Chain A
Amino acid sequence: MKKSNVKLMQGNEACVEGAIAAGMRFYAGYPITPSTEIAEVSAQKLPRIGGKFIQMEDEIAGIAAAIGASLAGLKSMTATSGPGFSLKQENIGYAALAEIPIVIVDVQRGGPSTGLPTAPSQGDIMQAKWGTHGDHPVIALSPSSVKETFDLTIRCFNLAEKYRTPVFLMLDEVVGHMREKIEIPDASEIEVIDRLKPAPGDKNYLPYKVEEGQIVPPMAAYGDGFRFHVTGLMHDESGFPSNSSEVAHHLMTRLMKKVEDHLDDIITYEENNIEDAEIVLLSYGGTARSAKSAMKKAREKGLKVGLFRPITIWPFPEKRVKEIAKNVKAIIVAEMNYGQLVLEVERVVKGATEVYHVGKINGEVITPDEILSKVEEVK
């Protein structure tokens, strides 16, 4: 590693570095705290490498322009925070149904409404899953450090391209604004996945037809000579609208399955001291840092505590959490909300172990001692 590649930067800056390394060449967004640096750094860096940045008139336009640019062939991103994430929901559904790869960053802040604009939160975790109307596949990743923000932003683009779906990077204000040392790897060390494209001049190209051996249909770009149609209506393999219940069922099932059938590829997590643990802390994003510290303190006291950190939030690492639940006395979910991912944990473990929650909704981070005292309470 060259010394010049070691930098001190914010999570938000690392997000842009990762995006550019993954091939982002278009960014559209709207200023909102605490995500604004992502727009600022994109505005600064993109034109220097021949990419494009545009500040749109609102959050809805930000994601709309990103979808348009992706259809014209550029890897695209938009970033926002709480209120803006709410505004983007309709077009998230559009990208899911029309299968347009884009990356949406949500730097979570205290909500609802304007809430606590400069304070951290993890209150949008369920919104990432259920925010847009209708059933749809969801991929959401949540980093705990600046370096991981860089890595996961690349992974978000790769997953978006591979599965032709919008992918969320669920940052929180803690990680977004935290400054840490980061080593930017050389481009040759970074795996970059590009969307599958139809063979040039393929006369039989159908924009939504999955051929044998493909996960998703190849995606042409506007201007490449395919003259295809894209709509937010239910559509058949040709891309044109259809009212047929059979067509709707086929499309919806395919959309859900393309994620459901590749969980092992999509899901990642980190485990610490799970083997002999009697109590497992389950935490993600910025809060996982407090959980890790709480685990260490508990171990120092001789308590058998482990940490499970989902890196992929959606789809939830259901299989692994089920296994862990069989062998432990309790799972304590620590997250900066009133109880969101804990609901998923309870659903998954189905009473196999006790599930407790450590939450906070006042804009302050959860401290290691708060988690530790819960451990002592339930041990």
Chain B
Amino acid sequence: MSSQLVKQYYRGNKLPHIWCPGCGHGILMRAVTQAIHNLGLDKDKVCVVSGIGCSSRAPGYMDFNTLHTTHGRALAFATGVKMARPELEVIVVTGDGDAAAIGGNHLIHAARRNINITTIVFNNNIYGMTGGQYSPTTPTGDLGTTAPYGNIDKSFDIAALAAAAGATYTARGTAYHVQQLIKLVENAIQNKGFSLVEAISICPTYYGRKNKKGSVVDMMHWLKDHAVDVKAAQKLPPEKLEGKFLIGEFKNVTEPEYTEEYQKIIDRFQKER
């Protein structure tokens, strides 16, 4: 099935991808593509936009309208694309540094507008492309090349940030829980408004090695053992959730969508003519 997916949706001559052996990003990219396939979207009407970093190389491999922008700015470029052509399904692929550090302002404002863009954050808890510096999602106490004595920053909960800023759909999945992730991305694309799926990746090369997280398989097992479904978590006592993180759908509400609201203003003047 996956080779069929590659044939249908990937730019074969651009493969193999640049990601390190064991990187979770390939799994995440496939999940996004599978979701697009499952929804039966027209390839010509999908636009995938990214910023800078490991995650942001994904659109180069994906056979859609693709835009690899500047660091942190994917959502701002995507907003222009979506405003100009609301009929396009605009999907932003970004990373934890790209979305939550340098691009944090664009993230909260795209969420606030509830513009119909689906954002998939490939969160690997580190700056991979530049060689392992701590990011806004590096857990406190962990090591990075720029946190040689342990990270003293608190880490961002990107999904909660987006929800608080006004996103109408938020969820979290992982590179281990692939079937669930595909479904979450499908739901995110179907939501008419700003959607964000935080997809937890693994970075064995930098984050894993620096923090002695073991092999790629060990890191995948860590995802399996520490992720708790949000519905199951509701029935668990707090001590059972210690050191765990939640996955699943966090928010799914309906609110006025930005490009539709703007179209209403245009229509008002069309009627006057």
Interface residues of A (CB under 8 A from B): 26, 28, 47-48, 50, 52, 54, 56-58, 60-61, 64-74, 76, 90-91, 94, 221-233, 240-241
* Contact between A61 and B76, CB atoms less than 8 A apart: yes
Query: Does B225 sit at the interface, judged by CB under 8 A?
Result: no
Give the CA-CA distance A76 to B80 in the complex, in Å. 9
* Contact between B80 and A66, CB atoms less than 8 A apart: yes
Q: Which of B61-69, B192-200, B211-219, B245-253 contacts A (4 or more CB under 8 A)?
A: B61-69
CB neighbours (8 Å) of B60 from chain A are 229, 231, 240-241
Q: Which of B82-90, B93-101, B234-242 contacts A (4 or more CB under 8 A)?
A: B82-90
CB neighbours (8 Å) of B67 from chain A are 68, 71, 222, 229-231
CB neighbours (8 Å) of A94 from chain B are 69-70
Query: Does B119 sit at the interface, judged by CB under 8 A?
Result: no
Majority secondary structure of chain A interface residues (helix, strand, loop or mixed): mixed
The 3 closest A-B pairs by CB, nearest first: A68-B80, A65-B80, A64-B76
Q: Which of B21-29, B202-210, B261-269 contacts A (4 or more CB under 8 A)?
A: B261-269
Known: A74-B84, A241-B68. 15 other contacts (CB 8 A): A47-B266, A47-B268, A52-B84, A52-B266, A56-B109, A57-B108, A57-B109, A60-B73, A64-B69, A64-B77, A72-B80, A221-B85, A232-B70, A240-B14, A240-B60
Question: 26 interchain pairs (CB within 8 A)?
Answer: A26-B83, A47-B265, A54-B80, A56-B109, A60-B73, A61-B109, A64-B70, A64-B76, A64-B106, A65-B79, A65-B80, A67-B69, A68-B67, A68-B77, A68-B82, A72-B80, A72-B85, A73-B84, A222-B85, A223-B44, A223-B45, A229-B60, A230-B68, A231-B68, A232-B69, A240-B14
Question: Which of A56, A223, A231 sits near B85, CB closer than 8 Å?
Answer: A223
* Contact between A227 and B63, CB atoms less than 8 A apart: yes
Query: Does B78 sit at the interface, judged by CB under 8 A?
Result: yes
* Contact between B84 and A72, CB atoms less than 8 A apart: yes
CB neighbours (8 Å) of A229 from chain B are 11, 59-60, 66-68
Query: Does B47 sit at the interface, judged by CB under 8 A?
Result: yes
Give the CA-CA distance A71 to B81 in the complex, in Å. 7
CB neighbours (8 Å) of B63 from chain A are 227
Q: How far is the CB of B73 from chain A (nearest CB, A)?
A: 5
Known A50-B266, A50-B270; judge A222-B81 contact (CB<8 A).
Answer: yes
CB neighbours (8 Å) of A90 from chain B are 70
Query: Does B38 sit at the interface, judged by CB under 8 A?
Result: no
- Whose C-beta in chain B lies nearest to the C-beta of A62? B76
* Contact between B65 and A222, CB atoms less than 8 A apart: yes
Give the CA-CA distance A221 to B77 in the complex, in Å. 14
* Contact between B262 and A91, CB atoms less than 8 A apart: no
Query: Does B140 sit at the interface, judged by CB under 8 A?
Result: no
Give the CA-CA distance A231 to B109 in the complex, in Å. 24
Q: How far is the CB of B140 from chain A (nearest CB, A)?
A: 28
CB neighbours (8 Å) of A240 from chain B are 11, 14, 60
* Contact between B68 and A68, CB atoms less than 8 A apart: no
Give the CA-CA distance A135 to B200 in the complex, in Å. 39
Give the CA-CA distance A52 to B261 in the complex, in Å. 12
Q: How far is the CB of A354 from chain B (nearest CB, A)?
A: 44
* Contact between A64 and B59, CB atoms less than 8 A apart: no
Q: How far is the CB of B111 from chain A (nearest CB, A)?
A: 11
**A28, A47, A241: most-surrounded residue (chain B CB, <10 A):** A47
Give the CA-CA distance A50 to B105 in the complex, in Å. 28
Question: Which of A26, A52, A68, A223 sits near B78, CB closer than 8 Å?
Answer: A68
Query: Does B183 sit at the interface, judged by CB under 8 A?
Result: no
* Contact between A233 and B80, CB atoms less than 8 A apart: no
Give the CA-CA distance A154 to B85 in the complex, in Å. 24
* Contact between B87 and A223, CB atoms less than 8 A apart: yes
Contact with A along B163-195 (1 / 0, CB 8 A): 000000000000000000000000000000000
**B76, B265, B270: most-surrounded residue (chain A CB, <10 A):** B76
Interface positions of B from 87 to 144, Cβ below 8 Å from A: 87-88, 105-106, 108-109
Known A60-B73, A69-B81; judge A48-B105 contact (CB<8 A).
Answer: no
Known A73-B85, A233-B68; judge A61-B79 contact (CB<8 A).
Answer: yes
Query: Does B37 sit at the interface, judged by CB under 8 A?
Result: no
Q: How far is the CB of B113 from chain A (nearest CB, A)?
A: 9
* Contact between A54 and B73, CB atoms less than 8 A apart: no
Give the CA-CA distance A72 to B88 in the complex, in Å. 9
* Contact between A91 and B70, CB atoms less than 8 A apart: yes
Give the CA-CA distance A232 to B67 in the complex, in Å. 9
Q: How far is the CB of B177 from chain A (nearest CB, A)?
A: 30
Q: How far is the CB of B64 from chain A (nearest CB, A)?
A: 6
Known A69-B81, A73-B84, A240-B60; judge A60-B44 contact (CB<8 A).
Answer: no
Question: Which of B43, B83, B88, B108 sits near A52, CB closer than 8 Å?
Answer: B83
Give the CA-CA distance A61 to B85 in the complex, in Å. 18
CB neighbours (8 Å) of A70 from chain B are 80, 84
- Whose C-beta in chain A lies nearest to the C-beta of B85? A72
CB neighbours (8 Å) of A69 from chain B are 80-81, 83-84
* Contact between A28 and B85, CB atoms less than 8 A apart: no
* Contact between A47 and B77, CB atoms less than 8 A apart: no
Give the CA-CA distance A222 to B80 in the complex, in Å. 12
Give the CA-CA distance A67 to B74 in the complex, in Å. 11
Give the CA-CA distance A50 to B270 in the complex, in Å. 8
Give the CA-CA distance A29 to B35 in the complex, in Å. 34
Give the CA-CA distance A73 to B81 in the complex, in Å. 9
CB neighbours (8 Å) of A222 from chain B are 47, 65, 67, 81, 85, 88
CB neighbours (8 Å) of A228 from chain B are 65-66
